[in-house]
Structure 1
Amino acid sequence: MPDIVISEFMDEPAVARLKDRFSTLYDPGLAEAPSRLKNEIAEARALIVRNRTQVSADLLSGADGLECVGRLGVGLDNIDMAACERRGIAVYPARGANDLSVAEYVVTAALMLLRGAYLASDRVTAGDWPRQALMAGREASGKVIGLIGFGGIARAAASRARALGMEVVASDPHVPASDRAWAEARKVELETLLAEADVVSLHLPLTETTRHLIDGAAIARMKAGAVVINAARGGVVDEEALVDALRQGRLGGAALDVFETEPLTAEAGGRFAGLSNVILTPHIAGLSVEANERVSGVTADSVIRHLEGGK
C-alpha cells in the first residue's frame, strides 16, 4: 500500500520527488471515486488533494495511519478541518504559491469588463462592426477597485491595479489598521467599498457568514455600471441576484471563476445564457504553468518535511 496518495493533478517533477522518497500512488481520477480513494488511503501516511476531493470525516474514518493532508491550493472548504484536528492530521495549504496567477486574473478581468471591446469577437467575425456600441468602454486609470478581503492574493492584485493608475480600497476586519499592507490600499468598511468601487473583487473563504455576502441588497448599494469579479469561492456571490442585476443593466459586467455548483452544470449555467458582458471560467484563476509548479513544489516540500520528521 502507498505511503502517499495524490488524488488530483500535480506537477510531474513534484510527483517524481515524492516517489523518490516514498511509495506514492498518483491517480488524478480518485477525486471522482471516493470509495476507491477510501480504500487507497487505508494505510497511507499522506493524502494530497486540490479542491475536488472531499476530505470528509467518512473518508478519513478508515485511514488510521494518515498523518497529513497536502492541499494543492489555499481553500480549505473541501476539507473537514474539525475531523482532521480530532484525528491529529496536519493540513498543509500551499499559501502564497498561486497568489500571482489569481491576481493577474483579477486585474485582467477588470480591464476586459471595463473596456468591453474584448468580448465582441463573435460580432466582428459575423460581419457586424459594432464600433459605435463599443465606444462606451471605460479606462481603468482613475477608477476605484474594491477588494473584499485583503490577504495575499488581494494585496498582489492591489499593487498591480495601482500600477495601472487605479485607486485601491479594501475591507477586511481581520487585518489590523497597523498592518503595513494598508500602504497598498485605503482601509474602508464594506458599505463604503460597495458605494465607491467601480470594480468589486472578492477575496474571501466560503463560510456561513460570507455565503451570499454579495446578494441583491449588496448589489443595490453598488455604483451603477460597477463590475463584479469572483475568483475566490462559489457561494460568496448570490448568482441569481447577480444575473438579475446584469439583465436589468444595473451592473456593467461580471467575471466568475467559481460557482455555487461546481463543476457548473448545463442547468446551472443556463442562467447566464445571452449575457454578453460576462466572463465565465472553470475555477482556473490560480492555475497557470508557473503557479502549478510553485503550488506542487510547496505541497511536496510540506509533505516530505512532515513525513521525514521535520514537522
Structure 2
Amino acid sequence: MAKIVISEFMDEEAAKSLKARFDVTFDVGLVDDRQALLAAVADADGIIVRNRSRVDPELLAAAPRLKVVGRLGVGLDNIDLAACESRGVIVKPAHGGNGSSVAEYVLTGALLLRRQAYFSSAAMLAGQWPRQALIGREVADSTLGLVGFGAIARETARRARALGMSVAAFDPHLASNAPEWSDVTRHESLASLLAASDVVSLHVPLTKATHHLLDAAALAQMKAGAVLINAARGGTVDEDALAMALREGRLAGAMLDVFEQEPLPADSGLEGVPNLILTPHIAGVTDESNARISRMTADNVRAVLERAKVYA
C-alpha cells in the first residue's frame, strides 16, 4: 500500500478520506522534528505540507519513492521546485482555496488600522477616555494599493470596492492589456503605487527579486499616515525598517501575518513597536478555507498516486 506523510495540520475528514486507499502517517509534530520527518518519508510516495516543512534536496534524498508533494496553500518558497522537477516529483498547490480568507484578513486590517480606535483596551481599563487621540479614518474613499495582482489580490480588490475603496495595483508580470486591469488603476512602478496608496497590501511570492521589496527606501515612498498589510510572504518586508517607520510615526500602522523567521525569535525587533498587529501566518486559514484546501490537497495527491498506480 502506498504511503502518504502529513507533517502539518490538516482537516481531519480530508486526512481520513485518504486512509481508505493509502497508509497515512498524520503527525503534526514532524514539522518541528526534522530527523523524525526524514525517517518518516523514507518509504513515502506522497507528502502533504503547509509552509514550514522544507521539501529540499535533503528530504528528497531521504524519500526515494516520493512522487508527489501536496501543498496546503499556494506559497512554494519552502519547496525546492527545481530539485523536485529533477527527481520527477510533482508539486500540487491548492490554488483558489484560501482567497476569500486572505481577502477578509486584508480588509479587516485596513479597517482596524485606518480607524485606530481598536488599540484602546489597555487605556480604557486604566480609567482613561482617549476619544480625541483615537479619532481615525474611514476606508471609504481611500485607495487600496495591491503589490501583485494575482487571484487573491483580485478577490481582495472586489471586496474592497464594496467598501467604497478605490483600488490600484502594480504587477510587472501581468500584461498591460490584460482584462484584469479593467476596473483597477494600473501603476507602472512600485514607487508610484506606494505614493498613491492609503493602504498597501502585499500579494507576491518570496524570491530573490522580492526579498525586502519593501525596504527602508520603499517604505519612505509611502504616504505619511498610510498603513501596510503583509499576508503574503515573510522576507518581502524589511522588518527592522518597518519598525523604525512605525516608531517614528511615518506610518499609521501595520499588520503582519508572515515573517522572515517563523516563529519569531525572542529578540525580535518588532517587540514594543506601536500600532503593529502580529498574527501567526493565519490569514489564509479559517475553518472554511482549511476544509477547502485540505479536500483539494487530498484530491490532488490521490489523483497523482492513482495515475502512478501506486495505490494498491
Contact kept? 1:144, 1:167, Cα under 8 Å: yes
- Is the counterpart of residue 26 in structure 1 residue 26 in structure 2? yes
Distance 2:98 2:38 in 1: 28
The Cα of 1:220 is off from its aligned counterpart by: 1.2
SS at 1:114's partner residue? Answer: helix
Aligned partner of 1:286 in structure 2 is 284
Aligned partner of 1:155 in structure 2 is 154
Aligned partner of 2:306 in structure 1 is 308
SS at 1:52's partner residue? Answer: coil
Letter in 1 for 2:117: A
Contact kept? 1:150, 1:172, Cα under 8 Å: yes
Aligned partner of 1:274 in structure 2 is 272
Aligned partner of 1:68 in structure 2 is 68
Aligned partner of 1:99 in structure 2 is 99
Distance 1:22 1:213 in 2: 42
The Cα of 1:310 is off from its aligned counterpart by: 7.8
Q: Which residues of structure 2 form unaligned runs of 5+?
A: none
SS at 2:307's partner residue? Answer: coil
The Cα of 1:274 is off from its aligned counterpart by: 3.0
Contact kept? 1:119, 1:276, Cα under 8 Å: no
Distance 1:41 1:224 in 2: 50
CA offset digits 1:91-129 (Å, max 9, x no partner) = 000111011101100000011000000111111122111
SS at 1:48's partner residue? Answer: strand
Contact kept? 2:240, 2:270, Cα under 8 Å: no
Aligned partner of 1:197 in structure 2 is 197
Distance 2:274 2:250 in 1: 14
Distance 1:310 1:228 in 2: 45
- Is the counterpart of residue 17 in structure 1 residue 32 in structure 2? no
Q: TM-score, normalised by structure 2?
A: 0.96
The Cα of 1:71 is off from its aligned counterpart by: 0.4
The Cα of 1:273 is off from its aligned counterpart by: 3.1
The Cα of 1:272 is off from its aligned counterpart by: 2.6
Worse overlay, 181-190 or 18-27: 181-190
- Is the counterpart of residue 263 in structure 1 residue 268 in structure 2? no
Distance 2:278 2:55 in 1: 27
Contact kept? 1:2, 1:40, Cα under 8 Å: no
Aligned partner of 2:176 in structure 1 is 177
Contact kept? 1:199, 1:226, Cα under 8 Å: yes
- Is the counterpart of residue 119 in structure 1 residue 119 in structure 2? yes
Runs of 4+ deviating beyond 6 Å: none
Aligned partner of 1:211 in structure 2 is 211
Distance 1:68 1:40 in 2: 15
The Cα of 1:275 is off from its aligned counterpart by: 3.0
CA offset digits 1:54-109 (Å, max 9, x no partner) = 11101110211110000001111111111101100000001110111011000000
Contact kept? 1:2, 1:25, Cα under 8 Å: no
Distance 1:84 1:30 in 2: 20
CA offset digits 1:216-244 (Å, max 9, x no partner) = 11111111011011000111000111111
Distance 1:294 1:69 in 2: 17
Q: TM-score, normalised by structure 1?
A: 0.96
Aligned partner of 2:131 in structure 1 is 131
Letter in 1 for 2:280: P
Distance 1:310 1:152 in 2: 30
Contact kept? 2:247, 2:274, Cα under 8 Å: no
Contact kept? 2:15, 2:298, Cα under 8 Å: yes
Count of matched residue pairs: 308
- Is the counterpart of residue 43 in structure 1 residue 73 in structure 2? no
Distance 1:100 1:56 in 2: 30
Letter in 2 for 1:279: I
Distance 2:272 2:127 in 1: 19
Letter in 2 for 1:282: P
Q: Which has the higher contact order (CA 8 A, sep 6+)?
A: 2
